C-alpha cells in the first residue's frame, strides 16, 4: 500500500500560500518503523512518499525508512517505491546518491524565476538562487525529477517565463497548480492574467512539441490524456484509498488536508486501518450538486475532497475559483490537442495515446 509520511511539521521556509502550520513536531523512529511494516502489509508493492513540512529536515528518518524497507523486501519479495516532495534547499550530493540508488522519484517545489514572489525563507530572504543551484544538482543525477509549481496571484506576471526557464534548466516534467486556501486571494483581474499566461505557456508547449522536444506540463497533459482515455482518474475522490497520509504521531487520515481532524482519522500505524470508517468516508464522497448537469464533470477534479475542503470548508462543494480554473484548462487543452493532432497525428498518438486502447485513440 501507499503511505505519505509527514516526517515533520517544521519547515525552513515560510511560503506565502503555505497551508501547513509550522511546529517543532517530528515523527518518531517507532512510527517510521510501524509505517514501513504497514506499507508492506497489503498489495504487491510498498509505496512511501516522504513529505512534511520539509522532509529533508529529517533525512535521518528517510534513511531509516529505506533501510527497513530493504529488509522487508528481502523478507516479503515485494519491491518498495519511494517518492519525496521537497523545497530542495537542503538537498546534498550524498542524499542524491542514495536517492538515485533506490530510484526515488523527487518532486522539487520550484517556481522558476517567479520563486521569490512567494517562496521565501523564514527570515524573509528569497530562495531562488539557492534552489536554482540545487535544481541543477538534482537534474544532473536524476534528470527525470519533477519541478512542481504552485502559482499564486503574486507569481502570475512571471508564470509563462518561469515555465520556459524550468524547461531550459532541464526539467522535462513540470506539474503546476494554482494556489488555494485562506492565504490566497484571487481577483477577476488575476484570472484574466492567469488565462493570458496559460495561453503563452500553451504556445510554448505546442512549439516544443512540434520541434520534437515535448515536455510534460500537468495542466495540459492531464486534460488531454483524460479526454483520450474517456475518464478522469481523479473523477471520484480517493479519500484514504490511493495514498494515505501518516501524521507524525502515527495517526492515519483520509487525506493530507484532514490531518488532525478526528472525523477523518482512519486508525494508526500501530493498530492498522479502520476499514469500516474508510468505507463510510468513501460513501460520503459525492459529485457536487452544482456539477451534476455539467458536461465537463468527467474531466474535472471537482470531487477532490481535499481541495474542496480547503476552498469551501466542505469536501463535496466545489469553489467558483476551481470551477473557473477547470473550465479554462479544459478549453485550452482541447484547443492545443486539436492543433497538435492536425499538425502531426503520429507524434500526437505516440505522445498522448500510447497507453490508451486503439479504439479510443
- Contacts with ligand SF4 by CB under 6 A lie at 11, 13-15, 18, 20, 52-54, 87, 109, 290-291, 294, 296-297, 300, 302, 318, 322-323, 326-327
- The Cα 251–Cα 241 span in angstroms is 15
Nearer to ligand SF4, 13 or 340 (CB): 13
CB of 255 to ligand SF4, least distance (A): 16
Question: Residue 9: is the preceding peptide bond cis (ω within 30°)?
Answer: no
Within 10 angstroms of residue 227's Cβ, the number of other Cβ atoms is 19
> SS3 for 194?
helix
Nearer to ligand SF4, 90 or 353 (CB): 90
Nearer to ligand SF4, 80 or 307 (CB): 307
Nearer to ligand SF4, 296 or 353 (CB): 296
Chain-centroid distance, C-alpha 234: 13
Give kind and range of the element (H or E) at residue 134: helix 128-141
CB of 207 to ligand SF4, least distance (A): 28
Within 10 angstroms of residue 357's Cβ, the number of other Cβ atoms is 10
- The Cα 354–Cα 45 span in angstroms is 24
CB of 247 to ligand SF4, least distance (A): 15
Q: Which of 155, 165, 172 is nearest to 217 (CA)?
A: 172
CB of 318 to ligand SF4, least distance (A): 4
User: DSSP assignment, residue 250?
Assistant: S
3-state helix, strand, coil in the chain (%, to 5): 50, 15, 35
Nearer to ligand SF4, 158 or 303 (CB): 303
Nearer to ligand SF4, 251 or 303 (CB): 303
Q: Give the CA distances from residue 119 to residues 81, 181, 244, 311, in Å, rounded to whole numbers and listed in that order.
A: 29, 16, 27, 21
Q: Residues near 295 by Cβ (< 8 Å), separated by ≥ 6?
A: none
CB of 51 to ligand SF4, least distance (A): 9
Q: What is the DSSP string of 259-319?
A: TT-GGGEEEETTTEE-HHHHHHHHHH----GGGTT-TTGGGS-TT-HHHHHHHHSSTT---
Within 10 angstroms of residue 172's Cβ, the number of other Cβ atoms is 18
CB of 287 to ligand SF4, least distance (A): 8
CB of 259 to ligand SF4, least distance (A): 13
Nearer to ligand SF4, 52 or 219 (CB): 52
CB of 136 to ligand SF4, least distance (A): 19
Amino acid at each position: 500500500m501507499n503511505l505519505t509520511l509527514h516526517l515533520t511539521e517544521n519547515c525552513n521556509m515560510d511560503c506565502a500560500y503555505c497551508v501547513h502550520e509550522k511546529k517543532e513536531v517530528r515523527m518518531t523512529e517507532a512510527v517510521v518503523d510501524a509505517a514501513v511494516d504497514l506499507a508492506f502489509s497489503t498489495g504487491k508493492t510498498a509505496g512511501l512518499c516522504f513529505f512534511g513540512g520539509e522532509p529533508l529536515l529529517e533525512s535521518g528518518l528517510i534513511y531509516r525508512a529505506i533501510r527497513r524497507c530493504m529488509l522487508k523486501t528481502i523478507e516479503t519479495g515485494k519491491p518498495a517505491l519511494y517518492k519525496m516532495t521537497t523545497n530542495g534547499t537542503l538537498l546534498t550530493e550524498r542524499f542524491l546518491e542514495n536517492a538515485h540508488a533506490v530510484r526515488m522519484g523527487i518532486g522539487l517545489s520550484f517556481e522558476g524565476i517567479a520563486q521569490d514572489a512567494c517562496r521565501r525563507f523564514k527570515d524573509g530572504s528569497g530562495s531562488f538562487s539557492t534552489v536554482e543551484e540545487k535544481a541543477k544538482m538534482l537534474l544532473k543525477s536524476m534528470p527525470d525529477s519533477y519541478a512542481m509549481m504552485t502559482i499564486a496571484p503574486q507569481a502570475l506576471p512571471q508564470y509563462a517565463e518561469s515555465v520556459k526557464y524550468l524547461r531550459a534548466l532541464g526539467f522535462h516534467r513540470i506539474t503546476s497548480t494554482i494556489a488555494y486556501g485562506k492565504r490566497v486571494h484571487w481577483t477577476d483581474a488575476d484570472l484574466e492574467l492567469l488565462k493570458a499566461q496559460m495561453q503563452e505557456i500553451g504556445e510554448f508547449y505546442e512549439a516544443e512539441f512540434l520541434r520534437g522536444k515535448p515536455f510534460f506540463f500537468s495542466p495540459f497533459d492531464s486534460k488531454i490524456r483524460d479526454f483520450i482515455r474517456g475518464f478522469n482518474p481523479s473523477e471520484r475522490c480517493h479519500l484514504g484509498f490511493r495514498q494515505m497520509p501518516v501524521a507524525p504521531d502515527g495517526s492515519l487520515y483520509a487525506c493530507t488536508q484532514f490531518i488532525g481532524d478526528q472525523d477523518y482519522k482512519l486508525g494508526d500505524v500501530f493498530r492498522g486501518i479502520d476499514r469500516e470508517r474508510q468505507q463510510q468516508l468513501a460513501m460520503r464522497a459525492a459529485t457536487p450538486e452544482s456539477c451534476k448537469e455539467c458536461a465537463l464533470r468527467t474531466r474535472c477534479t471537482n470531487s477532490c475532497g481535499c481541495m474542496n475542503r480547503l476552498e469551501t470548508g466542505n469536501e463535496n462543494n466545489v469553489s467558483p475559483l476551481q470551477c473557473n480554473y477547470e473550465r479554462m484548462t479544459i478549453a485550452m487543452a482541447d484547443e492545443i490537442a486539436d492543433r497538435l493532432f492536425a499538425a502531426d497525428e503520429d507524434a500526437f498518438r505516440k505522445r498522448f495515446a500510447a497507453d490508451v486502447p486503439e479504439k479510443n485513440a
